[in-house]
Copies of this chain bind each other. A is one copy, B any other.
Amino acid sequence: MKKLFKFELIKKDGSARLGKIYTPHGEIETPVFMPVGTQGTVKAITKYHLLETKPQIILGNTYHLYLRPGTDVLKHFGGLHKFANWELPILTDSGGFQVFSLANSKEKGKGHKPEVVLTEEGVKFKSHLDGSWHFFTPEKVIEIQEIIGSDIMMPLDICPPYPCDYEQAKDAVFKTIRWLERSKKAKKNNWQALFGIVQGSVYEDLRIESAKMTVDLDMDGYSIGGLSVGEPWEYMYRMTEVVVPLIPENKPRYLMGVGTPENIIESVDKGVDMFDCVMPTRNARNGTLFTHFGRVNIKAAKYKLSEDPIDPLCDCYTCKNFSKGYVRHLYNAGEITAMILGTIHNIRFYNKMMEDIRMAIKENRFRQFKKEFLDRYSST
């Protein structure tokens, strides 16, 4: 018998919250950062080194996993946990963000140009891999996530781009709510949690309306979606401030796709419990590394002879074993090993930051921690 999803609020320090999420695959201390494992692996790292960074949960992308390896493979293996030999909790997004953001993207991808047709029933989209057409409905997306077997599922939602006019944002809010009702009805497994996603772009009244309607549906947790899509940070913070007080204290709050260390600390201060972002892994692959003294472009000539670790305050495998000079050389020589070492470091940086955040809340000194962290982070 699998344990059911539960959130426990342990204590507050201002609006910052220390909590614990119980899932069938183990407990998660919050605030938590979830490394992104889009296609069934966090990129450029082995499970061994990932576990060493002390993650508590990883995020998988329903859109990508549905297209590849596909639900036939995932069903055969008995879900993503078994397929990837991953014991810890998994959260999956709904694919909504990918469907819309890939179609809205101005980037010329290597693959096929994604296209999307939105109806009340669902969303028809063209695969970025082979140009084939697919149809996601709220029910279908729940079914896929039940095959994946994630501990926390997201319902299909509509994530508008930024900027987005009021009418389009309003339509997205109401369609997202109607889809959430259908998602809830479609859900079969009681051991998988289902969150609701608050939309509303940068419009306060829409965010409030969306939050109230979503909370009325009594979900396991609440996501704030549609942010970190290019809007100024002030909007992200303001929308978070507007939404958070409307979410019941006994439910976790997840700010999707966020963000930089500054974004995360600021949002924890506003009462957010969960975060995910590709930033630490993506940046690692191009040589941008996070340190307690700000971001570092490790390829820079000034590190050529540096015998120091990337971050003297970091306890990761990379920092314990290698110098900036060596890691710089590996990046400049185009070695895959460089990306591995950078990925290990950046993920550990994020996880360590969350550990420090939790400790600070526990000891009632979050605001002091925040100030010290941000002062040091912007010192160079």
Contacts and interface: CB of A to CB of B under 8 A. Distances in A.
A242 interface: no
A162 interface: no
Contacts of A321: 47, 85
B333 A68 contact: yes
Given A73-B304, A305-B73, A336 B335 contact: no
Interface in A304-362: 304-305, 307, 317, 321-323, 325-326, 329-330, 332-333, 335-337, 339-341, 344
Interface string A48-73: 11000000000000001000110001
A325 B43 contact: no
Contacts of A323: 77, 83
Contacts of A305: 73, 76-77
A40 B333 contact: yes
Contacts of A333: 39-40, 64, 68-69
Q: Which of A49, A73, A340 has the most CB of B within 10 A?
A: A340
Contact of A46 (B43, B47, B64, B337): B337
Contacts of A88: none
A372 to B, nearest CB: 31
A256 interface: no
Q: How many copies does the complex hold?
A: 2
A58 to B, nearest CB: 13
Q: Range of interface residues on chain A?
A: 35 or more
B46 A330 contact: no
A326 to B, nearest CB: 6
A48 B47 contact: no
Given A304-B73, A307-B77, A44 B329 contact: no
A374 interface: no
A305 B76 CA distance: 7
A335 B39 contact: yes
Nearest to A341: B46
A337 B281 CA distance: 12
Given A304-B73, A305-B76, A332 B68 contact: yes
Interface in A75-134: 76-77, 83-85
A45 interface: yes
A41 interface: yes
A131 B135 CA distance: 53
A2 to B, nearest CB: 22
